[in-house]
Amino acid sequence: MSEPAFRTTDLTKTYGEGDGAVHALRGVDLEIPAGEVVVLLGPSGSGKSTLLNILGGLDRASTGEALYKGQDITAMTDRQLTRYRRAHVGFVFQFYNLMPSLTARENVELVTEIADDPMAADEALHLVGLNERIDHFPAQLSGGEQQRVAIARAVAKQPQVLFCDEPTGALDSTTGRKVLKVLTEVNAKLGTTVLIVTHAAATADLAHRVIHFADGRIRDVITNKTRKTAEEIHW
Ligand SMILES: Nc1ncnc2c1ncn2[C@@H]1O[C@H](COP(=O)(O)OP(=O)(O)OP(=O)(O)O)[C@@H](O)[C@H]1O
């Protein structure tokens, strides 16, 4: 069996100290195979984004181990973490964080200009179905189209892993489905491991694996025997 994308052992994260301490992660043991679409579900405050941020190298664990392809992220220096994020990881957030004064292509080029082995910005925009919108500014695009530019930007540097925190949170369900379709296509075409944190529980039907969080711990992990397509899910 190939090495998993991620493996965590007794991972904890505590924000603050003493009486005010918040135990965001209380001991997470997890394995995420490379090449899967994984959906993280759970109540607000249960630790999903915290886990995503630690695996993505945006935040640090308090204790425990988190391996990316056998490398311990928790032991990395800040410089190593920056390199890890640059080389291997793409992020998609609820709000698209596009530069309003740049076109779709120019927004993607911001990343392709500094990446080691990027695809062309136009190719990334084709991949997300925005062929006709390449020279549009964000204000000329719908919310779903803006999110697809954000996905193109994240995918253009050819990351091994795509972390998506509430990628459909600001979208209606029809538009959200288009965005999810793009994420599953990126997984299928490029083999990118895709982790999605969401409150839209129906998204779980797209996943290879569904992780349920509760109170800073994993409650259960389900492997879907069959997966639905983005067109088939509703929320
Ligand atoms: N930077 C921070 N400082 C202090 N507490 C934090 C910080 N980030 C998260 N927390 C707390 O950690 C806990 C877990 O938060 P997290 O955002 O991981 O949950 P979540 O499951 O993603 O929630 P949601 O679904 O609402 O996004 C919460 O109680 C939150 O308030």
Calpha distance 35→218 (Å, rounded) = 21
Domain at 209, CATH number: 3.40.50.300
Contact 178, 184 (CB under 8 A): no
Residue 26 inside a domain? The answer is yes
Pocket of ligand 1 (CB under 6 A): 15, 22, 24, 42, 44-50
Residue 197 has pLDDT above 80, yes or no: yes
Distance 50 CA to ligand 1 centre (A): 6
CA of 181 to the centre of ligand 1 (A): 28
25: DSSP letter: E
pLDDT of residue 1: 59
Instruction: Kindly report, residue by residue over 50-84, the tens digit of the pLDDT.
Output: 999 999 999 999 999 999 999 999 999 999 999 99
Q: Is residue 88 part of a domain?
A: yes
Q: Output the CA 220–ligand 1 centroid distance in Å.
A: 20
Separation of CA 123 and ligand 1 centre (Å): 36
Q: What is the pLDDT of residue 171?
A: 85
Task: Identify whether 1 is part of a domain.
Answer: no
Q: Is 35 exposed, middle or buried (0-12, 13-18, 19+ CB in 10 A)?
A: middle
Measure the CA angle with vertex 86, ends 81 and 88; round to 5°: 90
Q: What pLDDT is attached to residue 115?
A: 86
The two structure tokens encoding residue 186: 């990126």
Domain around 36: 6-232
pLDDT band for 93, please (50, 70, 90 cuts).
very high
- The answer on pLDDT for 208 being more than 90 is yes
What mean pLDDT is predicted for residues 173-189? 91
What mean pLDDT value characterizes the chain? Answer: 94
pLDDT at 140: 96
pLDDT at position 234, please? 84
For range 17-35, the mean pLDDT = 95
Residues in the chain: 235
Atom of ligand 1 nearest to the CA of 213: 21
Domain-embedded: residue 102: yes
Q: Which amino acid is at 176?
A: G
pTM of the model: 0.93
- Looking at the domain assignment, is residue 217 inside a domain? yes
pLDDT computed for residue 196 by the predictor: 97
Number of domains in the chain: 1
N- to C-terminal Cα separation, the chain: 35
Q: Which whole number is the average pLDDT over 207-229? A: 96
Residue 193 within any structural domain of the chain: yes
- Residue 209: per-residue pLDDT: 97
